[in-house]
Chain A
Amino acid sequence: MPAAPFPERERIDARDKVLGATAYAADIPLPGLLYAMMVPATTPKGRVETVAVEGAMQVRGVVRVLTAFDFPALPGPPPTPATEIAYRGQPVALVVAETLEAAIEGAEAVRATYAGQAFVPLIDSPGAARELVQPKKAGNAQAAMAGAATTIEASYVSPAQHHNPMEMLSTTAVWRDGKLTIYEGTQSASLVRANVAIALHLDPAVVEVKSAQVGGAFGQKIPLQRQTPIVALAAILIGRPVKLVLPRAQIFHNAVFRPKSRHQVALGADAGGKLTAIRYDADHQQSRKGTLEPGYHESPPRMYGVADYDGTAAHVRIDTQDPGAMRAPYPHPAQFAFESAVDELAHKLGRDPVAFRLAHQATTDPISGNPLSSCFLNDCLTEGARRFGWERRPIAQGAMVEPDGTLVGWGVAAGGYPANVSPTIATLRVSADGRTRFAVAGHEMGQGIRTVIAQLLQRELDVDPARLEIAIGDTAAAPQHTTASSRGTVSVGAAVTAAAAKMRAAMAELIGQRSIAGNIHRQLATVRRPFLQVEVSTLGPGQDAGALDRLRAGARAAAGPEYPQFTSFSYIAHFVEVRVEPSTRRVRVPRVVSIADCGRVVSPRTAASQVRGGVVWAIGAALREETEVDPRFGGWLNADLADYVVPVNADIGDIDVGFVDRPDPLFNAVGSKGLGEVAMVGAAAAIANAVFHATGTRVRKMPLRIEDLL
C-alpha cells in the first residue's frame, strides 16, 4: 500500500544553519592541532627530479614536510604524492606547521624541479586519444533512420565545469592509540575508509570516517579525495592531529570536475511526425587513467518510447586530472543535446514542442525491453504548460517583442534520471526516556536527508521528534553507502519502513494483550524497558546478500535503473522564459516553471528547494560556467570565483516548482524515486530553446554567450 501524501514540514537543521551553528568537518576543535598546506606541481606533465624542503623547514613553526619519498609504493595510480606528474597542480609535497600562516609560507618555500614532457591539453589537441566504449543499442536505428520522412542532425558541446561548494574541501586526521579518525566532508565515508586503508597499508578496522555535515557535494565528494591519505599519513607520522583546508584554486586542480563533452545527435521522424529513430554519439574529456564512463545513454532512450536507438560513446584521453561526477553527470549534458535536438525536430515538423513531446509517452525501456516502473512525464508537461501559460505562445520565433525592443522567448525541455537505490544496514533504538536514535547510511549534504528520515520515522512511529538523533555519515554508526545518484531518500525510505515494522512487531511482543496509553516512549516506560533496539538490512529490487557485503566493504553496492522486472526513472519538465536585451544581447531568465515526477514526495519543503537549486545551477551552466585551459601551460585558467562566473541572486527570477506526487509502488513501498539530480536535467536545453524562440538563433553549446547572439 503506497504512502499517502506527506505533509509540509520544515527542515530539522534549518535553524542551526541560519545561525551558523552547524559544525562541518573543518570546524571540529582538537587539542594540539597542526595545519597543513599542499605544494602543487608547476608542470602539466613530467617527473619530479628534486624537491628542496630546506627553505620550508627554516620557516618558524614548520614541523615537517612530506614528499613522495615518505609514502608507501603502490600499484596503480597512487592517491599520495608521486614523482610522476600527470597534471598541473598535482600534490608534490605537504607542509605541516603549528599555524596556518607558517604552513602557507612553508609551502611557498618548497622548491621542486621537474623533467617536463610533451602533454596534450585539450580534447581537440593533436595526440588526444579517442577510446570507444561498449555501445548501447536497441532495435535497428539505421534502418529506421533510412526510412524516416524527416531527419535532423546536429552537434552540441558541453564545457568543462567545476564544483564550487561553499564548504572548501578539507581533511582533518587524528591518530590516537593505533586508531585513525578522519573528519571530512564526503559522500562516501565507507569508501574513504577502505581506500585510505589500502593507500596507507592499514587494517580498515582501525580507520573511522566521520562526515556528519557536508557543505554541498553534488558528486565532487564521491571518490577518495586527493588530500585525504596524505593528511592521514602526516597525522600518523607526526603523532598529532593535522588539518588541511584546500584553497579554492587547489580545489579546481585536484577535485573531480565535469569533463568537456561533445554530442552528435541525429533524429528521424516518420511521415506522421512520430519520432522513430535516435542516433547519438558522445565523447568526453578523460585523464590518462581515469575511469568515469562516458555513460551519456542513460536518459535519452528512456524519454519518448522510441524503439530504435543507436548509442555510441568514447573517452578522449588527454593530460588532465581525473574527471568525475557533477550534478546529473550524464543526463545534464546529454539532455542539453538531446532536448535541443528534439526542439529542432519539432520546429522542422512545424509542431508545438510541448504537443510533440506529449505525443511520445514512454511505457517501456528499449534498452532492457522491460516496462518502465512509472513515467508521468506527460503529467509534468501538462501541468507545467498550464502554470506557465504555454497556450499563449506564438509558434514563430521573434514574435514576442517588448516596446523597448527586448526579445522574449519561451522554451520547454524535459529531463530524466535513473531511479537508483542502495542496500542499507540500519539500527533503530527507541528509549523510555523519550530518545530515538536511528543509525543508517547517508550523508547530509544540504539536500535534507535528515529531514527526510525524520519525516518517515514520524509517519511510521509515534516517536518524540524533539529528541531524535539521526546518526549518518559515520562509519562507526552504520556502513555508509555512497550518497549519490539521487538514491538517498529511496534508500533510507526502505530502511525506515523495515526498521519501523520490526520495532512495531517487537513492541507488540513486549506489550502482548495489554492496552497502554501514550506514545512509544511512554509505553516502554510503563513496561519498565529502558529501550528497545532493532537492526534491519534492506536490498534493492533483485539484489542478493552480496550487496550487503559490498556495502560493508565500502565498495559499490547500489542498483538501478535496470531491475529484473522493470526499469525506473524520474522525470521533469522545465518551462523557461528568457528575455534578450536588444543591443547588448544579454540573456535574462526571469521565469521558470519546473514540474517533477519523483514518485511520492517525502519531504515537500526540501524537495522544492532541491528543484530550485537544480534550476539555478542549470541557469549557471547554460549561461555562465566554463573552466578554461591555456593550452600552452595546461591546468585551469579561471580557478577562482572571480573568473569562474556563477549566477548571483540578482540573476535569478521566479522559479515555480511543482510535483506530480504519484507513488511508484513497483519500485518501493514508499513509492518514491530520486529527485536531486533530475531537478537540473533539461533546464539548460529549455533555456537554449527559449533563446531560439526569442531570436531565431540556435546555440548548440554551453555556456551560451552574449557574443553568440550578436
Chain B
Amino acid sequence: MRPFDLLQPKTTDEAIALLARHGSRACLLAGGTDLLVEIKEGIRAPDVLIDAKHLPGMRDLVVSSSEGLRFGALVTARELETSPAVKDFYHGLWQALRELGSIQVRNRATVAGNVCRASPSADTLPPLIADGAVVAIMGPAGERHVTLEDFFTGAGKTVLNGDEIVTGFSVPKPLPGTGKCYVKHGRRKAMELATVGVAVTMTMTGDTCSSIRIALGAVAPTPIRARKAEAVLAGKKPDIELIAQCGAIAATETSPISNIRGSADYRRRMVEELVQRAITAAMEAAR
C-alpha cells in the first residue's frame, strides 16, 4: 500500500478547508470498506486521507412514522438495519441493508459511503431513491440539498464538488397505505454484488395506486427511476396485466452492460420479472 497522510479534522469547516486545499489528491474516509480495499489494490492512490469519523453531528439517527427518517453521514449500515422503525417504515431500505456485504462490513460501512461511491449496483441507492431521499451537502458556500435521484452523474460520479461533504440524509415520512420492497438479484444467496436491484415504493388508496416510484440498480451507469413504468400504474387499479406491462416497460428504460455477473439481455429480462415481483410485494405490504 502506498503511504498517505491521515488528517483528522474536528469540524466540518476544517474538513471542507482540507478538501479545498488538497483537491483531487485527497479522499474522504468514513467506514473505509471500499476505499481501503481500493487503496490496497492500487485502484486509488490518494496522498491524503481526510478522516470524517471525528466530525460532529453526523451520527444522529431519527426515525418515526410521523417525522420520517433522518440520519447523519457517519451512521453505519448496521445501525440502520437494526432499527425496528427502519424495518417497519423503510422496509425496502432495510431489505437492501440486510444484503449489503456481510455483518462485519455493515458494522463499518456507512450509507453515505455507499452513496458517494456511486456504484451503479450499490444496494441502498434504489430504495432510498424510491423513498424520495434528499442528500444534505455542506461546502464553502454553506449547505445545499439535492434529491438522491439527481445526485448521480455517471458510474462513480456525483454532483459533489471537490470541496463538498455529504453530511446526512432525510427521507420523507411514509404516507398511509404505503408498501415498499427491494429485490436484489444475484447468483448466490449472500456476499454478492447485485446483478439487478429493484426498489418499489407505492401508495394505495383503496384499490387504486395513488403513487408509485420504481428505482433500478445495476442496469445503467447510475441507479435510475423507471418513470414510464410508473406512469403505467399511477392512478390505476393494478391487475396482473397492468403489472406485467409495467415490468415490460421498465425493461425498456434500462441500458445495462454485459459482464461476468450477467449479460445485458439477461439483466433486461430480470428487470421485467423483478419489477413485477417488487410491485406485487409492495402492494401486499400496502394493505
List A residues at the B interface (Cβ < 8 Å): 101, 104-105, 108, 583-584, 586, 623-624, 628, 637-638, 642-643, 645, 647-651, 706-707, 710
Of all chain B residues, the one with the shortest Cβ separation from A582 is: B273
Q: Is the CB of B266 within 8 A of A101?
A: no
A-B contact pairs, 6 of them (CB 8 A): A637-B260, A645-B187, A648-B189, A650-B188, A651-B188, A710-B266
**Is B263 located at the chain interface by the 8 A CB criterion?**
yes
Q: Is the CB of A710 within 8 A of B269?
A: yes
Q: Is the CB of B193 within 8 A of A651?
A: no
List the A side residues contacting B59 at CB < 8 Å: none
CB < 8 Å neighbour of B260 from A643, A647, A707: A643
Instruction: Compute the total of residue contacts between A and B using a CB distance below 8 Å.
Output: 45
Q: Is the CB of A707 within 8 A of B266?
A: yes
Q: Is the CB of A647 within 8 A of B188?
A: yes
List the B side residues contacting A624 at CB < 8 Å: 187-188
Q: Is the CB of A638 within 8 A of B1?
A: no
How far does the alpha carbon of A648 sit from the alpha carbon of B191 in the complex, in Å? 8
CB < 8 Å neighbour of B1 from A105, A628, A642, A710: A105
Q: Is the CB of B42 within 8 A of A108?
A: yes
List the A side residues contacting B42 at CB < 8 Å: 108
Of all chain B residues, the one with the shortest Cβ separation from A706 is: B266
Q: Is the CB of B263 within 8 A of A105?
A: no
List the A side residues contacting B263 at CB < 8 Å: 707
List the A side residues contacting B262 at CB < 8 Å: 706-707
Chain A to chain B: the 9 pairs with minimum beta-carbon distance, closest first: A650-B189, A583-B273, A648-B190, A707-B266, A648-B188, A651-B188, A650-B190, A651-B189, A648-B191
Q: Is the CB of A105 within 8 A of B269?
A: no
Nearest CB in chain B: distance from A153 CB, A: 29
Of all chain B residues, the one with the shortest Cβ separation from A624 is: B187
Give 1 or 0 for each of B197-223: 1 = CB within 8 Å of chain A CB: 000000000000000000000000000
Of all chain A residues, the one with the shortest Cβ separation from B42 is: A108
Q: Is the CB of B260 within 8 A of A638?
A: yes
Nearest CB in chain A: distance from B127 CB, A: 20
Q: Is the CB of A706 within 8 A of B2?
A: no
How far does the alpha carbon of A648 sit from the alpha carbon of B262 in the complex, in Å? 19
Give 1 or 0 for each of B239-276: 1 = CB within 8 Å of chain A CB: 00000000000000000000010110110011001100
Q: Is the CB of B269 within 8 A of A101?
A: no
Of all chain B residues, the one with the shortest Cβ separation from A650 is: B189
Q: Is the CB of B260 within 8 A of A584?
A: no
List the B side residues contacting A638 at CB < 8 Å: 260
**Is B185 located at the chain interface by the 8 A CB criterion?**
yes
**Is B3 located at the chain interface by the 8 A CB criterion?**
yes
Q: Is the CB of B2 within 8 A of A105?
A: yes
Q: Is the CB of A649 within 8 A of B270?
A: no
Tell me if B's interface is mostly helix, strand, loop or mixed.
loop
Q: Is the CB of A108 within 8 A of B193?
A: no
Q: Is the CB of A628 within 8 A of B260?
A: yes
How far does the alpha carbon of A583 sit from the alpha carbon of B270 in the complex, in Å? 8
Nearest CB in chain A: distance from B98 CB, A: 12
Q: Is the CB of B190 within 8 A of A649?
A: yes
Q: Is the CB of A584 within 8 A of B273?
A: yes
* A645/B273 contact (C-beta < 8 A), A105-B3, A628-B260, A707-B262 known: no
List the B side residues contacting A101 at CB < 8 Å: 1
* A645/B266 contact (C-beta < 8 A), A105-B3, A584-B273 known: no
How far does the alpha carbon of A465 sit from the alpha carbon of B190 in the complex, in Å? 41
CB < 8 Å neighbour of B193 from A586, A642, A710: A642
CB < 8 Å neighbour of B188 from A105, A108, A645, A707: A645
How far does the alpha carbon of A628 sit from the alpha carbon of B3 in the complex, in Å? 32
Q: Is the CB of B188 within 8 A of A584?
A: no
Of all chain B residues, the one with the shortest Cβ separation from A644 is: B260
Nearest CB in chain B: distance from A76 CB, A: 34
Q: Is the CB of B185 within 8 A of A584?
A: yes
List the B side residues contacting A649 at CB < 8 Å: 190
List the B side residues contacting A108 at CB < 8 Å: 2, 42
* A706/B260 contact (C-beta < 8 A), A104-B1, A105-B2 known: no
How far does the alpha carbon of A122 sit from the alpha carbon of B263 in the complex, in Å? 21
How far does the alpha carbon of A638 sit from the alpha carbon of B259 in the complex, in Å? 11
Nearest CB in chain B: distance from A250 CB, A: 12
Of all chain A residues, the one with the shortest Cβ separation from B269 is: A710
Of all chain A residues, the one with the shortest Cβ separation from B40 is: A104
Give 1 or 0 for each of B164-189: 1 = CB within 8 Å of chain A CB: 00000000000000000000010111
List the B side residues contacting A706 at CB < 8 Å: 187, 262, 266
How far does the alpha carbon of A651 sit from the alpha carbon of B190 in the complex, in Å? 8
Of all chain A residues, the one with the shortest Cβ separation from B266 is: A707
How far does the alpha carbon of A628 sit from the alpha carbon of B189 in the complex, in Å? 22
Give 17 new A-B contacts, CB below 8 A, not counting A648-B190, A707-B263.
A101-B1, A583-B273, A584-B185, A584-B270, A624-B187, A624-B188, A645-B187, A645-B188, A645-B192, A648-B188, A648-B192, A706-B262, A707-B262, A707-B265, A707-B266, A710-B266, A710-B269
Nearest CB in chain A: distance from B34 CB, A: 11
Nearest CB in chain A: distance from B112 CB, A: 22
List the A side residues contacting B185 at CB < 8 Å: 584
How far does the alpha carbon of A101 sit from the alpha carbon of B39 in the complex, in Å? 13
How far does the alpha carbon of A643 sit from the alpha carbon of B195 in the complex, in Å? 12
List the B side residues contacting A586 at CB < 8 Å: 187
Give 1 or 0 for each of B1-21: 1 = CB within 8 Å of chain A CB: 111000000000000000000
Nearest CB in chain B: distance from A311 CB, A: 34
Nearest CB in chain A: distance from B103 CB, A: 13
Nearest CB in chain A: distance from B145 CB, A: 34
Of all chain B residues, the one with the shortest Cβ separation from A643 is: B260
Nearest CB in chain B: distance from A583 CB, A: 4
How far does the alpha carbon of A647 sit from the alpha carbon of B273 in the complex, in Å? 24
How far does the alpha carbon of A637 sit from the alpha carbon of B259 in the complex, in Å? 11
How far does the alpha carbon of A624 sit from the alpha carbon of B188 in the complex, in Å? 9
Of all chain A residues, the one with the shortest Cβ separation from B37 is: A642
Nearest CB in chain A: distance from B197 CB, A: 14
How far does the alpha carbon of A645 sit from the alpha carbon of B189 in the complex, in Å? 11
How far does the alpha carbon of A319 sit from the alpha carbon of B265 in the complex, in Å? 32
Of all chain B residues, the one with the shortest Cβ separation from A104 is: B1
List the B side residues contacting A651 at CB < 8 Å: 188-189
How far does the alpha carbon of A583 sit from the alpha carbon of B2 in the complex, in Å? 47
List the B side residues contacting A628 at CB < 8 Å: 260
List the A side residues contacting B265 at CB < 8 Å: 707
Nearest CB in chain B: distance from A516 CB, A: 58
How far does the alpha carbon of A651 sit from the alpha carbon of B3 in the complex, in Å? 40
Give 1 or 0 for each of B58-95: 1 = CB within 8 Å of chain A CB: 00000000000000000000000000000000000000
List the A side residues contacting B3 at CB < 8 Å: 105
List the B side residues contacting A710 at CB < 8 Å: 266, 269
Of all chain B residues, the one with the shortest Cβ separation from A645 is: B187
List the A side residues contacting B192 at CB < 8 Å: 645, 648
How far does the alpha carbon of A649 sit from the alpha carbon of B3 in the complex, in Å? 37
List the A side residues contacting B2 at CB < 8 Å: 105, 108
How far does the alpha carbon of A624 sit from the alpha carbon of B261 in the complex, in Å? 10
Of all chain A residues, the one with the shortest Cβ separation from B265 is: A707
Among the interface residues B185, B187, B262, which one has the most CB atoms of the partner chain A within 10 A? B187
Of all chain A residues, the one with the shortest Cβ separation from B191 is: A648
List the B side residues contacting A643 at CB < 8 Å: 260
How far does the alpha carbon of A380 sit from the alpha carbon of B2 in the complex, in Å? 57
Of all chain A residues, the one with the shortest Cβ separation from B45 is: A108
How far does the alpha carbon of A101 sit from the alpha carbon of B4 in the complex, in Å? 12
How far does the alpha carbon of A583 sit from the alpha carbon of B265 in the complex, in Å? 14
Of all chain B residues, the one with the shortest Cβ separation from A581 is: B273
Among the interface residues A586, A623, A638, which one has the most CB atoms of the partner chain B within 10 A? A586
How far does the alpha carbon of A677 sit from the alpha carbon of B101 in the complex, in Å? 33
Among the interface residues B42, B265, B266, which one has the most CB atoms of the partner chain A within 10 A? B266
